[in-house]
Every structure is written in C-alpha cells, then in structure tokens.
Structure 1
C-alpha cells in the first residue's frame, strides 16, 4: 500500500498506477496459462478416443474439464472474495498443474478412470484463466472496463496459439520419456500452469480487488465525512442475468463445435499437426480480437456486441457444417468465426456482469456466474460426441449455430436497462 500512497502524493492516481502494474502481471500469467489451456484442448478428445476405441465418449474429456472448472470457479471466487485475487487465481492454476500430471500418469498406465478424474482436476486451469479477466476490471474506470478485460484476454493469445502447435513436438518429447505421445501436450500444460501461479504469487501486488474495496470505502467516506459508518453499496443492477445468459449460450455453442473438430479431422485422415493448426487459429480468434471488442463495448455498449456474437456464431456453425472434411482451410475459417463469436459474447457479458455487481460481493457472484458458464461448456462437450455419433459433425455444427440465436431474447431483456445503453 505504501507504493500506491507515494504514487498518489506524486500526483499519480493510486488506482491508475496500481492498475497498470496489475495488468502487466496479469498479461504475463495469461500468456503462460493460455499455453496450458490450449495444449490440453487439442488432444484431450483424441486421448480418450484412443483409450476407449470409440468416438461415443470423445466429448467426455471436454465435459469433464469444464465440469471441473465449474467447481473451481466457485472455489476461486470464494477465495478471491475472502482473501483477494492473488491467492484465488494462484491456487486455481496450481490445481490445473496437478490435473495435468494426473493425465500423464493415466496415459502411462492406460487407465481411463484415472484419465477422466485427472481431466476433472485439470479443469481448474480453465476456470482460473477465465476468472483472471475479472481481476483486470477491478481497478479500471467504468468507461474503460471492457478494454481492461480485453487486455487480459488478449494476453492468452500468444500462449493459446503456441500451445497447440507444440502438440506434435511435445508428443515426440513424451515418446522419448516413455510417455504416450498424445499425453505430451500435458507436459506443457503442467509446467505452464505452475509458472503462471508463481508469477501471480510473486508479482500481483497490490491485490486489485482488495485495493479496489479500500479505495471505494475511502471515496464514500470522504464524500460524506459526517457519517460514522459508510453506507453499504447498492444491490446488484439489472445487467446480471442478461450478461450471464449471453456468456452461457456462447460457451455452450463454442465448446460443442470446438471439441469435436479435431475428432472430425482425425477421422478424415488429418494428423495432429493439422488439427493443432486449426485449434490454434480458433484460440487466436477467441482472444486476439479482444482489444477491438473491448473498444466496441465501451463505445457502443454490450447490447450491440452481444447481438453480433449470436450472429457470428450462427455463421460459424453454417460454415463448419458445409466445409468439406478434406479442407483444412475452410474448417480453420469456421473455427475462427467460432472463436470470434465467443469473444464478442464473453467481453460483452463480462461488462454487463461487472457493471451490475457491487464490489462487496463481486468476486463471489462472478465465480457463481462462471459456474453456469462451465456447466454450459460441460453440456456442450458431453453432448457433442453423442450428436456426432448419431447424426454427424455437420449436424452438430448447424445445430450449434442455430442455438446461438437464443442469445437474442436475453439481449432484448437487457436493451431496456441502463447497462444495455
């Protein structure tokens, strides 16, 4: 706190000085965690398919680590609420690293039960990667919150693009260590998550949420110094439910189509390198547009951007459905649209949530919202394999695109609220 105090005495806002440091540290940790997240996505379904000898449950790994992320979202939110962002986020990344080690062990002993349990634990990294976006907004001025969220999200791009493209080299490394090649990317995941936790523990000071609360209490006390006690913050605003619904639907559609794309490509003769490239493009599209998305949300409001999300996801589903199975380029284009639609929905939904929830309960509420998002992802993951097995990948993609339009009624609700602008 002394550093922020001295910054204030020098004429620099304590909030803005601390915000710059917080964003710098979060960017570093997100680059690392992005590699851990994307590497596991690339081969999780393939590893399960190899162990089980069937595509029926190939969507189960995605469902499990998104279900695990639901539990982790609650835990990270509650720890952050009680003790601050630093311990909450660091604990989440360390749990993800433990899950990565468990996946490697399961592959070595060829135990599907251990694999599924480890993937559930691995999901903590996914939840924490998403929860970090809220930390970027804690100290941001209201007119720049979406851009602060976007800065954290776009940092995931570097690791997210590099991670899948290291799938083949990490597989080769795993082979030399006596580990099944498909488990190789989880070597990268474990190391990346552990390093992300270390960055936060050492450098995320001051804690953004704790400092935001302190500054807010001081501001309200100075605004009315005659009061012996500061009035509690107002109740949550009307943007909570529309924001949550927007992110839930975009997550459901994105996970369902993304999960089965590597399996679809594998079944049509494409290797790990090709599917890794497509997933890398997809992950890049999930995060790289974030600065522009943040500016659009701050400039035009989350309502307009959320509508764009639903329409973009529809286009992605149609493109994936009509893309020839032998065309890596067209599948990559469809997955890029899928990532962009998810980004538009996540940034606009996050802005609605952050604007609607007071600081006193913000971290806990954000964690609960992310539970719903994770459950939606789990639903999309586990159902995707069943749909593909019964009707094929094009049917899954088209159904997902149409389902994305269900975001529009949620946006209609928010349009009349102050947060819909």
Structure 2
C-alpha cells in the first residue's frame, strides 16, 4: 500500500504523457521523412551537382542544432509543452519555405528553408526526453523507446507517400520533388496542436515537484557512474555515420538508374529500422546495461557500411538491407545514449543539458551530411560507407573510457 500512495504524482500522469507523445510522434515521423527521402535529390536537381547534394542535409542538421538549444532552453524555463510545440511549428514553417523555394527556383531560399526545417527533426528527437521525465529508473530506456517507436508509423508511411504527394504537387503546380514537404508541413503543424492541447500535466515541470524515485542497483558496475560525455559520444558517432550514409544512398541509387519509388522504399525501410526496434532496444538497455548495447550499435553500423559498400548497383534489396542495419545501429546508439544522459542529469537542469547534448548530435549529423557529398564525389560511395562503418567502432572505446571516469 505505501508504494501505491506514491503512484499518483508520477505514474498515472506518465501514462497520459506517453499517449500524447506517441500521437504527436506519429505525425512528426511523417514530417521528418520528407527531407530524408527527397532533400538531397531536390538539391541535386536545383544545383546540378552531386558534390553539393549533401549541403542540404548539412544545413538541415545545423538548423536542428540551433533548434535543440532553443527547444531545450524553452522547455527548461516553461516546460516540455511549449518547447516541443514551438519546435514543430518551426518545422512546419521550414517545410513551407522549401515548397516556395522549389516553385521560385531559388537555391538560397531552399538552403534557408531547410535550415529552419531542421527544427522539426530536433524536436522529434527532444520528445524522447519528455517520455523519460516521469519514468521509474528501471524503465527509463523503455519509456524512451515507446516515444521513439511511434515515429515509425509516420516515418515509414511518409516515404511511401512520395508518389501521392508528388501527384498532388503536380495538381497544385509545385515541382515534383517538393511534394513530400506538403505532407511535412501539415504533419508538423498538427503535432504541435496535439501537444499544445493535450500534453497536460507537463512532464518536466511535474518531475521537479514529485518525489524522486529510488535508483536501483545496476547489474553492470562498469556503467554505474556514466557521465554526460559517455552518452553524448554514443549518440554523436551514431548520428554522424547514419546521416552520412543515409544522405547519399538515394543519390547513389539514382545514379544507378533507380527511381524515386525505389529510393523511397529503401528510406522507408531505413526509418522503420531506426524506430521500430525501440521497445526491444529499451528492454536490452535496462536489462543488460549500456556498454553491451553501445557495442551492438557499433557492430551494426559497421555491418551497414560493409553491405552498402559491396552492394551491386542494381540491387534494391542490398541497399535496403544496408540501410536497415544502419537504422538499427542508430537506434541502439540513440536509446543507449539517451538513457545515460537522463540518469546522469537531475531534473532541475535536465532540459537545458539535453538540449546542449543534442546540439553536439546535430553538429555531428551536419558534419556527416556535408562530408558525404564531398567524399562521394571525390572517392566514391563505397569508400564513404565503408569508412563510416569503421568510424562507428570508436563508440566502444569512447564509452569504456568515459564510463570508467578517465
């Protein structure tokens, strides 16, 4: 009975928070999928250059870095509800700007709009922290994974609606490749509305007033004292490798004669692998510890790089397998890193610290996106993917070193 009297301040609101976050994440998943599916192709079409195709992804992730700070600070001051809603509204505005740039044929406007559009991606990732605000320590990773897996529905549906949105764009007199951003704008705006109306009570504000739950003993002493640096490094390496390979795969497929439908299918599988394994990943993190899942992340990313580097040019299945492994490796890294950060930082400074951590993650993504086009243009896609897979192995020593306090 004493345990039940402590439930209302934390456990009952947590269920409502997760339901609302899941609904918003389904929509935002469709929004972020638009840029992933056609962003690089749209830049290539407008600029006529493969080497600059990664620039659009870099600007989007750079915009997400700025948005991560803004959303983190606003959440820290006012709560998760206004912070997340503002981020999604910015993503909707960026989507509208991309459409306007495509209609006007203005690359500069396209770059500026994609910078703003990146706020939607940052907010989608920041929402995972909201899922863990009220979670019991033994279930934090699973709470994070519940929010992440919701992104799967929209993230998989979005790329597979590429043809439909392109047809709608044609009816409206909008360029073909800008069509998915119609869906992105509507999805982000609706996600913001859901949060504004229903994310009550605010999980972060409530976590600061509710009694903190007792921390259980961890089964793995080597990760008993994880720091912010350990969690950040896991997510940084995962994001850098994932964005670099993901950005250039549709471009590489296009160069091998594959159309938008094929690349859309591959990206849909990739996004599904990024989020769908989340419940299992969360259980693995809570059950077996952070070091084990961080190692699994590095190995999955390495496998993705090897498969992509050796994929026959005409094989859609090979690219799909490579990007499925890429998504799985990213998922393992993100859930692991998020769990480490959440259990390290107290509620009073949690949102601001999480925002700053996501800045590092976004900068890593921007670096990966920008470098991907240059490396592919000068050395080729196979070298990009294989090099990325090898780089991912740095996750393991980084986590071991920082987790042991060195």
- Residue 33 of structure 1 is matched in structure 2 by 28
- Residue 231 of structure 1 is matched in structure 2 by none
- Residue 220 of structure 2 is matched in structure 1 by none
- Within 5 Å, give how 1:243-262 maps onto structure 2: 243-262=231-250
Correspondence for 1:392 among 377, 380, 396: 380
2: CA distance, partners of 1:190 / 1:126: 12
2: CA distance, partners of 1:320 / 1:244: 26
- Residue 396 of structure 2 is matched in structure 1 by 408
Correspondence for 1:158 among 143, 149, 153: 153
1:113-167 CA-to-partner distances (Å, cap 9, x unmatched) read: 0000000000000000000000000000000000000000000000000000111
Which consecutive residues of structure 2, in runs of 5 or more, have no partner in the other structure? Answer: 215-224
- Residue 224 of structure 1 is matched in structure 2 by none
The answer to whether the Cα contact below 8 Å between 1:160 and 1:284 also exists between their aligned partners in 2 is yes
- Residue 185 of structure 2 is matched in structure 1 by 190
2: CA distance, partners of 1:306 / 1:89: 28
2: CA distance, partners of 1:206 / 1:325: 52
- Within 5 Å, give how 1:20-419 maps onto structure 2: 20-216=15-211, 238-416=226-404
- Could you state the TM-score of these two structures normalised by the residue count of structure 2? 0.95
Deviation of the 1:413 alpha carbon: 1.8
Larger-gyration structure (1/2):
1
- Could you state the TM-score of these two structures normalised by the residue count of structure 1? 0.91
The answer to whether the Cα contact below 8 Å between 1:171 and 1:183 also exists between their aligned partners in 2 is yes
Q: Report whether the alignment pairs 1:16 with 2:35.
A: no
Q: How many aligned positions are there?
A: 393
The answer to whether the Cα contact below 8 Å between 1:303 and 1:414 also exists between their aligned partners in 2 is no
1:222-280 CA-to-partner distances (Å, cap 9, x unmatched) read: xxxxxxxxxxxxxxx64210110010000000000000000001111101000000000
The answer to whether the Cα contact below 8 Å between 2:230 and 2:403 also exists between their aligned partners in 1 is no
2: CA distance, partners of 1:182 / 1:415: 45
Deviating beyond 6 angstroms after TM superposition, the runs of 4 or more aligned structure 1 residues are none
Kindly report the root-mean-square deviation, in angstroms, between the aligned alpha carbons of the 2 structures.
1.5
Deviation of the 1:48 alpha carbon: 0.5
The answer to whether the Cα contact below 8 Å between 1:239 and 1:355 also exists between their aligned partners in 2 is no
